[in-house]
Amino acid sequence: MILASASPRRRELLEKLGVPFQVVPSEAPEVFDASLDPEAQAIALALRKARTVAARLDTGLVLGADTIVALEGVLLGKPRDDAEAAHMLRALSGREHLVVTGLAVVEPDSATEHASAVSSSVRFRPLSDDDIARYVASREPFDKAGAYAIQGIGGELVAGFEGCFNNVVGLPLCETLRLLEAAGLPLSASEPACRLPDGSPCPRLV
Residue type present at position 182: A
Tell me, yes or no, if 129 is annotated catalytic: no
Domain boundaries, the chain: 2-192
15-19, 22-26, 88-92, 129-133, range with the lowest pLDDT: 15-19
Measured distance CA(172)–CA(203) in Å, rounded: 11
Q: What percent of the chain has pLDDT over 70?
A: 99
pLDDT at 27: 84
Instruction: State mean pLDDT over 104-125.
Output: 95
Q: How confident is the model at residue 31 (pLDDT cuts 50, 70, 90)?
A: confident
Report strand pairing: 112-124 vs 158-162. Answer: antiparallel
Count Cβ atoms below 10 Å from residue 81 Cβ, excluding itself: 10
Q: How confident is the model at residue 19 (pLDDT cuts 50, 70, 90)?
A: confident
Q: How confident is the model at residue 190 (pLDDT cuts 50, 70, 90)?
A: low
CA atoms within 13 A on the CB side of 21: 25
pLDDT at 87: 97
pLDDT at 187 > cutoff 80: no
Instruction: State mean pLDDT over 144-169.
Output: 96
Q: How confident is the model at residue 29 (pLDDT cuts 50, 70, 90)?
A: confident
Looking at 33, 37, 58, 66, which residue is catalytic?
A: 66
| Residue 27 DSSP class | -
pLDDT at 189 > cutoff 70: no
pLDDT at 43: 97
Level-2 CATH architecture, domain 2-192: Alpha-Beta Complex (3.90)
Could you report the per-residue pLDDT of 82-103, keeping only the tens digit for each?
A: 999 999 999 999 999 999 999 9
pLDDT at 24 > cutoff 80: yes
Measured distance CA(102)–CA(66) in Å, rounded: 5
